[in-house]
Structure 1
Amino acid sequence: MGHFQLTARLWPALKQANGARVVCLSSRGHFFSDVDFEDPHFHQRPYDKWVAYGQSKTANIQFAVGLDARGEAHHVRAFAMHPGGILTELVRSMSEDEVRASIENSNELEPLKPPEQGAATTVWCATSDQLKGMGGVYCENVDIAEVAPAECTVRRGVKAYAVDPKRADRLWTASETWTGIRFTP
């Protein structure tokens, strides 16, 4: 809900900028789970940290899709992106075996990146002329990601549920309810 709340507070300035871009950090972790709108807080099902992580990363993508739909008329465009495999402070809450497995899984897809290389897609989303007039897309490796086939087992691209406008609208409505914040046109 942090992306939603911060953007809501910045909304007047974003509209006034007449060409603002909002870049939401997500990750390939969105492959772990769609948002479970029936039980997003794990009250009815056992907590699983990877499902929770995946759900949060999917929500970041859906937020960008929802924001772009609402912001386009105001020249505010939104993007979600995967920075690449980067070892961050997230590993502090993981066991050594989990860190090792994450590194091995990441290296199967692409080598780990230092933070500076991970920032490249963020900067590209914020500044690239290639994205002029576009928004609501998921980017990785300094490019727009393709939608991954439903049966895809390799985590590349973006899952269709993450960029689904109907699911993005559902998340938007839930976010307004959960935070008590409404964007004003």
Structure 2
Amino acid sequence: MEEDLRHLEFLAINSKEIIEKQVDSYRQQHSYAGTIIGFTVLFIPFFLNSLNGAYRIFQYISIASIALFISSILLMLSIFRGKPLDQALSPEKYQTLIKKSYKEVLLFEIEANKASYIKNSAATIKGNKRYLQGVSLTTIAILIAIVLLLTNSFIAIEKVPTKVQVVAPTKKASKVN
């Protein structure tokens, strides 16, 4: 009678799907981080340009917002420095596995997927932490920027009137005969 290996097949497939989801999530996080970096890089010049002619205090407060934006960009960039995730069964193992029984291959795949998931968890947890910190910093910086821009636009800056002296042109009395 042939051994029923359906439960091992299920575990092998399920563990492979979990690794694929982990890798897809990691890639999606990289995509989001890139989008946030792009938005931030475009927003900073707009923000600074909008504060031209604002009260000095607003310009000084804007430094905090810019510092938060830069910190966020650095955190998001650090996500890209991470190592690629391990995707379990490598082609180098195929030659060894050809000589194994189906049950041994399934058990090897399950164990490889488990080891990859555990190995990848450290990288994904670190990446998630940096990503969430970056999103938080970006959100706080945007809120500060919006408050500064709105406050600046609603407060009428009283300017000292410019004194203008009107000078009437002098007519030269020259007669042409």
Which one has a larger percent helix, Structure 1 or Structure 2? Answer: 2
- Structure number with higher relative contact order (C-alpha < 8 Å, ≥ 6 residues apart): 2
Shorter-chain TM-score above 0.5: no
So what's the TM-score if we normalise by structure 2? 0.24
Name whichever structure is richer in strand by fraction. 1
Q: When the two structures are superposed, what TM-score results if normalisation uses the length of structure 1?
A: 0.24
Larger-Rg structure: 2
